[in-house]
């Protein structure tokens, strides 16, 4: 049986080895493993972002429902629409608080409130600017 001879090791100086770990990582089949790991991380990141987006939309819809309940109760008690959302927290005559705090949407933006509503004259229209924070971009939540 013949013995395999090892290739002689070459002497390399520290400045000659710069970036060698990257070359070694990408050599042979290792780049496929690295690519699969990066692809897996990208998929996990995308799934996490989508879940976060859905959660913010749920928070926004819950806040819209809370505002509409407060507006309906205010109109039932006082017979008019409030001048602002702050009036729901500090009503003029009834002393009853219809909201504990001024709600914000899932992205921290204020709501647009139209009372009486353009689409619902007996109620109110409440809208969020959505993730963009701009009502001119078509990602609003009503």
Element (H, E) at 126: strand 125-127
Is residue 107 within 8 Å of residue 123, measured between CB atoms?
no
The answer to whether 60 and 141 have CB atoms below 8 angstroms apart is yes
Among all chains, which residue has been given the structure tokens 């409130």? 113
pTM: 0.66
Asked whether 85 and 97 are in contact (CB, 8 A), the reply is no
Query: pLDDT tens, 72-111?
Result: 888 888 888 888 888 888 877 767 788 888 888 888 888 8
Within a domain: 9:
no
Mean residue pLDDT across the chain: 81
What is the CATH number for 35? 3.30.700.10
Run of H or E including 104:
none
Domain-embedded: residue 55: yes
Cα separation, 46 vs 9, in Å, equals 45
Query: Is 136 among the domain residues?
Result: no
């Amino acid at each position: 049986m013949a013995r395999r001879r090892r290739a002689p090791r070459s002497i390399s100086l520290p400045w000659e080895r710069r970036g060698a770990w990257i070359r070694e990582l990408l050599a042979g089949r290792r780049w496929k493993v690295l690519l699969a790991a990066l692809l897996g991380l990208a998929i996990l990141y995308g799934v996490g972002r989508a879940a976060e987006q859905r959660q913010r939309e749920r928070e926004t819809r819950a806040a819209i429902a809370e505002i509409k309940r407060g507006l309906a109760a205010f109109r039932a008690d006082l017979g008019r629409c409030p001048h602002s959302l702050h009036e729901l927290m500090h009503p003029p005559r009834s002393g009853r608080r219809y909201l504990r705090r001024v709600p914000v949407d899932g992205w921290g933006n204020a709501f647009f409130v139209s009372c009486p509503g353009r689409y619902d004259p007996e109620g109110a229209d409440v809208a969020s600017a959505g993730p963009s924070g701009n009502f001119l971009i078509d990602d609003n939540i009503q």
